[in-house]
Amino acid sequence: MHVIQAEPVSVAPRASSRGFVRDGSGRGIGYLRLSLTRNCAMRCTYCRPGFVTNAPEPDAMGVDEIEALVRHLVERHGVHKVRLTGGDPTSRADLLAIVERIAAIGGVEDLAMTTHGLTLARDAQRLRSAGLKRVNVSLDTLDAQRYERLTGVDGLPRVLEGIDAAVEAGLAPVKLNAVVVRGRNEGDLLSLVHYAAERGVGLRFIELMPMGPLAERWRERYVTAAQMRAALEPALGVWERLPQGSESATRYRVTLADKRVTTIGFITPMSCNFCAGCDRLRIAADGSVYPCLMDRPAGNVRPALRPTLDADAFDAVLRRAYTAKRPEHPHDGAAIMTHVGG
């Protein structure tokens, strides 16, 4: 195994002359992760507690409110990147309308979505036509039985068809997200690498975080990125470290034994956090503001959106929330992942 190291690249938030909300560490806002719903067709063992069920969401923001929220963050605060999360965004019947409205806002340079992929075979082309630029699909294993045990759904064939449909539709780059859980799927890493290489898609392995159903068993289930890489190295050739830029993942261009090349990323919130460069703002479907995925909500912008946007009231919520943002995320997550989005 041979490693080619790239020059170290510091991770820093993208500067904006328009944005004026800063936390105590000087970090601003450039990237909005907007959760559209708490609902999801899956019940992943590391994500969704058993007491959380799919239900009507009368408090979820409507299309007009979402458009007003995103437009304000883009035009007044310099947000340039938006990711739709959940739950799963595809649980919303008005998803296409939401995508169309956000895509039409000047200044949104990147509109992406994270999804379980169950409906992509049907909807990938429509989402692309509506203005979605790219998609991340959760895929923790290629073994159908393990997939069902991990997600609670016998849906692997549908997801694989959806990934192919996303590639064909041009939702590029398609990226696969695999949360690695000891005793569940840590033996599936190499097969995922080969699958990603065959399909020409990116792959990111994600460290388990101490939140959700496995929080109390986190220490026994946690696999570090270093352990993941050590498991992969004997079967792979050259690893070339890629510049990190504003990416949360540490990325490598990897050459397989058959000379195919693919990109592997490791997202390391626990073993090597990337908090210093965080420019993310998370807003839940009900308007709750999460300055950090691992922390509690710090205010709600929903009242400032009704009946129409009150810009000063909205910004006051943001300023209070960012005052509470810590230099680094707490060790134990307080939120439910399906409420705030990943």
Mean pLDDT value of segment 78-101: 96
**Which of 70, 69, 65, 96 is CA-nearest to residue 81?**
70
**Residue 184 C-alpha from the chain's centroid:** 21
**Residue 23 C-alpha from the chain's centroid:** 22
Q: What is the pLDDT of residue 8?
A: 34
pLDDT in tens, 153-185: 999 999 999 999 999 999 999 999 999 999 999
Q: What is the pLDDT of residue 6?
A: 37
SS3 255: strand
Mean pLDDT value of segment 247-255: 90
> Which residue reads 């408090």 in tokens?
59
SS3 163: helix
**Alpha carbon distance 214, 333 (integer Å):** 11
Give the residues across from 222 on adjacent strands.
181
Q: What is the pLDDT of residue 338?
A: 63
pLDDT in tens, 265-321: 999 888 877 677 778 899 999 999 998 877 888 899 999 999 999 999 999 999 998
Mean pLDDT value of segment 67-77: 96
Q: Which helix (H) or strand (E) holds 75?
A: helix 63-77
Supply the mean pLDDT for the chain. 88
**Residue 157 C-alpha from the chain's centroid:** 22
Residues in the chain: 342
Locate all alpha helices (DSSP H) within 104-180, ordered by sequence: 120-130, 144-151, 156-169
pLDDT in tens, 115-139: 999 999 999 999 999 999 999 999 9
- 46 CB contacts (<8 Å, ≥6 apart)? 179, 181, 208, 212, 213, 214, 221
Q: How much of the chain exceeds pLDDT 90, in percent?
A: 66
Binned at pLDDT 50, 70 and 90, residue 210 comes out as confident
Structure tokens at 32: 């909005």
**Alpha carbon distance 212, 335 (integer Å):** 8
pLDDT in tens, 255-277: 998 889 999 999 988 887 767 77
Residue 202, pLDDT > 70, answer: yes
Mean pLDDT value of segment 105-116: 97
Structure tokens at 183: 């005793």
pLDDT in tens, 4-39: 333 333 333 343 435 568 777 777 889 999 999 999
**Alpha carbon distance 75, 309 (integer Å):** 13
Q: Spell out the domains of the chain, with CATH numbers in brackets.
A: 2-12+21-340 (3.20.20.70)
**Residue 9 C-alpha from the chain's centroid:** 22
Q: What is the pLDDT of residue 293?
A: 79
Q: How much of the chain exceeds pLDDT 70, in percent?
A: 87
